Structure 1
Amino acid sequence: MIHLFFIVAVLLCFLPLLPGIIGLILPSLSWLPTLGFEGVNLNAFAEVVTWPNLNASIGLSLLSGLGSTALALYFTYIILKRYWGTTRWRKLERTLSPMLAMPHVAFAIGFALLFSPTGWIFRLFEALGCADTVLVHLIQDNLIQDSYGIGLMLALAIKEAPFLLIMSIPILKQLNVTQLSAVSASLGYSKSETWRKVILPQWLPKLRLSLFAVAAYGLSVVDIALILGPTRPATLSVLVWQWFNEPDLQLLPRAAAGACLLVMLTATGLGFIRTIEWFCLRYKRNWLTHGATPSQQVARKPPRHLALYSPFVVIPVLIIPLLVVWSFAQRWRFPDFIPSRFSGRFWQQELPTLADLMGTSLLLAMISSIVALILVIACLEYRQKYQRAIPAWLIAIPLVTPQLSLLFGIQIVTYLVPGQHYSLWVIWSHLIFVFPYMYLALDGAWRSYDIRLDQCSRSLGLTAWQTWWRVKRPQVQPAIIFGLAIGISVSLAQYLPTQMLGAGRISTVTTEAVALASGQDRRVMAIYGLLQGVLPFVFFTLAIVANRLSNRWRHYRQHSRQTPSIPNKSKEYTHG
């Protein structure tokens, strides 16, 4: 049975990648017999190359994607260097999961409501009487849909830095930073030199896959770029998305060529990151090997970087209350700091639609996440039993490949299947992107599990199923519950898979939130952004509560089994 599940996982999650790539390349070469294109040529690429302001769109994508990746990596490194191993790190670590749980679309909507020219931040400046300063005007005009994509870059950096921090935790625990710091201090290295010359060269290569995922998302993001990014010209991903939505199907080869260009741009960006890493850590190693630098300065207290970390806490914390206030605001004139009149009319107006959208979103998320969970557990058990695993590069393809390009090819392939199975295609597309995240979330628990426990239980007469259920399940159950919450949150945040594979016929909270963020009423936009942000928090909270209750119940059962029963002495004496 485990062989069958392993084969099904490969067929469902990774086999579509090959026809997806073929379905992208052939239309870009103007070969699409269904629409009458039967000759292979490069006319679509010629149209793309001659498109006005194409170079500007490519430059904006590189600036926002690579710039946000560099900023997120720098923020991560500074925060880890300052707080790792300290008592404050525990407090910061507790805030990472809620920040990571917030979907990108909800974060982008809240970011726009905070930093727009009439947003909450500038209302605060007006209240403090400092709105006429040059710095405030500079920030006010260059954060939301600015021509250089600065606001998009900052929003992506703030949103992705907690992800890199969480991915760095197991890496630093494996490196044993305390021991490395002690040995380096004995050789004369300061704390700053230890992190720069000893820990950084070991930490960065292990973080490469996560960094590639962040860079690929930043270079090809569509939903956040529609809300915060520049519009004239737009980033390359938004430009290709606009080409894809052209009503004239004869222009489909141009969209396919643009999607191929987006793949090449992403590959170039990832290659640039890898080259910089190789150049700094392998080719030019003098700064690593010349030893400790003698310092004549007086020892001083390390600088505090709480101000640097505060945006990653303050902005997500402000977003939810701001969305709540906007959803109930009936009249809110600028520069008033709070609304002058509140009303629940907009909630009543959208409630029937919200019920249908939430039902559809939760149904898609639950089905795709449960199927992905079963397949992930089967793949991990197959690896443990037969020492054969899915290659890491195969799992990384959905993470580092632009969603727009990959889904374009898959959608072309689905056109060859007769019938309108839009719900099935959407669930399938969600599964493709949920599976890698759940696999990475559960991989650590299976690797740390001691296989000798299975051997011991089997020697005591338990079957394979009894061994897994009674021995292994209690130990990996916290990871399973947390992985399920991750899968549901990933599915709830999918915008492009739902739009493209659903052909616009399936609406979720995320798709409506992106559509309403394009210039509709801010109150309605806040309602959808609030729901899109709260749903993942609910599932992560349920996961934490479920893990705590299961731990208490397990300890209670163990304690009740170990405690001997006390006979009733009074009854024995009476009968005697």
Structure 2
Amino acid sequence: MIRLLYLFTLALCALPFVPGILGIIIPAFSWLPSLGLTTPNLSAFAAVAQWPGLTQSIWLTLFTGLGSTGVAILFCFLILKQYWNSPRWQHVEHSLSPMLAMPHVAFAIGFAFTFSPAGWFYRLLESIGFDTNGLFSLIKDQYGIGLLLALAIKETPFLLLMSISVLQQIKVNSLQAVASGLGYNHNESWLKVILPQWLPGMRLPIFAVAAYGLSVVDVSLILGPTRPPTFSILVWQWFNEPELTLLPRAAVGAIVLLAIALLSLGIIRVAEWYLLQYCRQWQINGPSRVRSNDSTNMALLRPKRHFPSYAPFILIPILVIPVLVLWSFAQRWRFPDLLPSRYSLRFWQQESLSLFELAANSISLALTSSLCSLILAVACLEYRQQYQRGIPSWLIALPMVLPQLSLLFGIQITTFFIPGQWYWFWVAWSHLFFVFPYLYLALDGPWRNYDIRLDQSARSLGLNGWQTWWRVKRPLLLPAIWLGFAVGISVSLAQYLPTQMLGAGRISTLTTEAVALGSGQDRRVSAIYGLLQGVLPFIFFTMAIAANRYSARFTRRTQQQRRESPDDIICGKPHFK
């Protein structure tokens, strides 16, 4: 059974790339017989090359995508350098879950309501006497600075979470002790000793962040510039053209977007090699020689109070939620008033029926895709433990590092040739395709750290394979399973492009409606959808934590009852003839 699930997972991970790539290459050469295009040519490539503002869109995409990735890496490293193994690190670690639970769309809507020219931040500046007339706005600015900052703030917690396992593997405490004995101070030990080992371990998460920033559509629709837009938005507009004969132009745009993403990942890899392997003089030039005297030594002994560098990544998401709540209940809110002058439940009552239907669609898709992904991930990890053969890491990484728009465009073109209206099935399958890598990576670390000798001891005591897994291994790995399940649900709830493209507009979720409303509708209705879209993942994370605590308490109670049972007491005593 495990072997069959392993083979099915391999097919699930590998087969979609064939129609995904062929589905954009063949239409790009204007060959779509169903639309009457039977003569291959290069007219679509010429149309894309002659598009006005194409160069600006590409440069804007590179600036926002690579810029947000670089800022997120810098913020992540500074936070780790300042707080790793310190008393404040627990506060940072505990704040990661709520920040990761908030989807990108909900954060983007709240970010727009906070930093728009009529947002709460500008109202606060007006209340303290600062004139905001003509002040630079971060929302839909022509340089994409607001989009860059929003992506960097949202992706930094993800890099921090991925850094925990990397730093545990390289044994930071031992490295710092050795570096301190060689004369390196705290900053130098992190820069010259830990950074060269941390950065290669973070290669896959950094690639995932860069690929998302280069091809993001939903956040760009809410925060990004419009004249010209980013290249991903330009391809999305071409794709939504009502004239179907223009699909070859969209296919060429998808190919160009894929090429931009692959080229950017190559640039990141070359930059890492140049910094860490080729240009190594900054690593081996030894500790800096600083004259020390009594005054400097006393200054070093005095405790320093630093401004918490993780504060923006906690304060901004915390500020975003109250702003969404206020806008959802606001009936009258004039600028520059800090708070609404009138409140009303009218908009909640108006959208209640739609909210229940959309929430039901979102939850059903999330539970289906996450549960199937959990079963497949556990089966693959068990297969790797038994047969020492797992899914190749590059195959797991492809759905994370390839642009969704390019891949889904080809898959959707392929679904046109399959008769029948299987829209819900296609959407659920696409969610499963993108949820599985995140859930697999969430469970990979706990499965690797599991002591296999426990299974060997249980088998030696007479338990079979299933009993060993259920009674020994499952209780120890249950916290990771619950957390992975919550991660899968949050990833599914945040999927916009798979739902919109493979659902053909017939499957609506809270995410699709939030993006449609957040890019230019009534702020009150947009706040309602953004708030609910952000609350659902948080609810599932809370339920996962509660289920984990309840299961741990139930396991302890069961073990205590078994110890106190008369049979166990009698069996536990030695027998004499």
Q: Same fold (TM over 0.5)?
A: yes
Q: Residue deviations 1:382-412, cap 9 Å, x none?
A: 1111111110001000000000000001101
Q: Which runs of 5+ in 2 are unaligned?
A: 568-577
**How far apart are residue 150 of structure 1 and its match?**
0.2
**How far apart are residue 564 of structure 1 and its match?**
6.2
Distance in 1 of aligned mates of 2:139 and 2:521: 16
Q: Residue deviations 1:448-488, cap 9 Å, x none?
A: 11112222211222111111111111111111111110111
**How far apart are residue 289 of structure 1 and its match?**
1.0
**How far apart are residue 216 of structure 1 and its match?**
0.4
**How far apart are residue 376 of structure 1 and its match?**
0.7
**How far apart are residue 304 of structure 1 and its match?**
5.1
Q: Residue deviations 1:109-131, cap 9 Å, x none?
A: 000000000101111111111x2
8 A Cα contact 1:357 1:509, kept in partner:
yes
Please point out which of 189, 193, 202 is paired with 1:198.
193
Distance in 1 of aligned mates of 2:190 and 2:331: 52
Please point out which of 156, 176, 181 is paired with 2:171.
176
Residue in 1 that maps onto 2:72: 72
Alignment of 1:174-253 (within 5 A): 174-253=169-248
Residue in 1 that maps onto 2:384: 383
**How far apart are residue 178 of structure 1 and its match?**
1.2
- Per the alignment, in what secondary structure is the counterpart of residue 77 of structure 1? helix
Q: CA RMSD in A?
A: 1.4
Residue in 1 that maps onto 2:121: 121
Distance in 2 of aligned mates of 1:212 and 1:536: 24
- Per the alignment, in what secondary structure is the counterpart of residue 241 of structure 2? coil
Alignment of 1:105-144 (within 5 A): 105-129=105-129, 131-132=130-131, 140-144=135-139
Residue in 2 that maps onto 1:309: 310
**How far apart are residue 77 of structure 1 and its match?**
0.6
**How far apart are residue 322 of structure 1 and its match?**
1.1
Residue in 2 that maps onto 1:273: 268
Distance in 2 of aligned mates of 1:565 and 1:385: 37
8 A Cα contact 2:117 2:137, kept in partner:
no
Residue in 1 that maps onto 2:338: 337
The number of aligned residues is 561
1:22 matched to 2:22? The reply is yes
- Per the alignment, in what secondary structure is the counterpart of residue 514 of structure 1? helix
8 A Cα contact 2:13 2:396, kept in partner:
no
8 A Cα contact 1:82 1:305, kept in partner:
no
Q: Which runs of 5+ in 1 are unaligned?
A: 567-576
Identify which range, 155-164 or 284-293, moves more after superposition: 284-293
Q: Residue deviations 1:314-343, cap 9 Å, x none?
A: 011111111111100000000000000000
Distance in 2 of aligned mates of 1:355 and 1:424: 21
Letter in 2 for 1:205: P
1:513 matched to 2:508? The reply is no
* CA spacing shift, 1:137–1:67, aligned 2, 3 Å: farther
Q: Residue deviations 1:491-534, cap 9 Å, x none?
A: 00000000000001110000000000121100000000000000
**How far apart are residue 218 of structure 1 and its match?**
0.3
1:480 matched to 2:481? The reply is yes
8 A Cα contact 1:14 1:432, kept in partner:
no
Residue in 2 that maps onto 1:571: none
Residue in 1 that maps onto 2:375: 374
1:418 matched to 2:419? The reply is yes
Distance in 1 of aligned mates of 2:411 and 2:72: 31
8 A Cα contact 1:12 1:428, kept in partner:
no
**How far apart are residue 308 of structure 1 and its match?**
3.0
Distance in 1 of aligned mates of 2:192 and 2:437: 32
1:83 matched to 2:83? The reply is yes
**How far apart are residue 562 of structure 1 and its match?**
2.6
8 A Cα contact 1:81 1:195, kept in partner:
yes
Letter in 2 for 1:72: A
- Per the alignment, in what secondary structure is the counterpart of residue 87 of structure 1? coil
Distance in 2 of aligned mates of 1:379 and 1:304: 48
- Per the alignment, in what secondary structure is the counterpart of residue 308 of structure 1? coil
Residue in 2 that maps onto 1:34: 34
1:525 matched to 2:526? The reply is yes
8 A Cα contact 2:13 2:395, kept in partner:
no
Letter in 1 for 2:210: A
8 A Cα contact 1:485 1:539, kept in partner:
yes
Letter in 2 for 1:21: I
Structure-2-length-normalised TM-score:
0.95
Letter in 1 for 2:156: A
Please point out which of 141, 144, 166 is paired with 1:146.
141
Letter in 1 for 2:171: N
**How far apart are residue 305 of structure 1 and its match?**
4.9
- Per the alignment, in what secondary structure is the counterpart of residue 52 of structure 1? coil
1:538 matched to 2:539? The reply is yes
Structure-1-length-normalised TM-score:
0.95
* CA spacing shift, 1:70–1:305, aligned 2, 3 Å: farther
**How far apart are residue 36 of structure 1 and its match?**
2.0
Distance in 1 of aligned mates of 2:425 and 2:343: 42
Letter in 1 for 2:78: I
Letter in 2 for 1:431: L
Runs of 4+ in 1 over 6 A off after TM superposition: none
Distance in 1 of aligned mates of 2:191 and 2:564: 54
Q: Residue deviations 1:349-408, cap 9 Å, x none?
A: 000110100011101111111111111111111111111111000100000000000000
* CA spacing shift, 1:5–1:564, aligned 2, 3 Å: closer
Distance in 1 of aligned mates of 2:157 and 2:349: 35
Distance in 1 of aligned mates of 2:84 and 2:317: 22
Residue in 2 that maps onto 1:61: 61
- Per the alignment, in what secondary structure is the counterpart of residue 310 of structure 2? helix
Residue in 2 that maps onto 1:8: 8
Q: Residue deviations 1:71-112, cap 9 Å, x none?
A: 000000111101111001111110011101100000000000
8 A Cα contact 1:79 1:305, kept in partner:
no
Residue in 1 that maps onto 2:573: none
Distance in 2 of aligned mates of 1:565 and 1:337: 68
Letter in 1 for 2:9: A
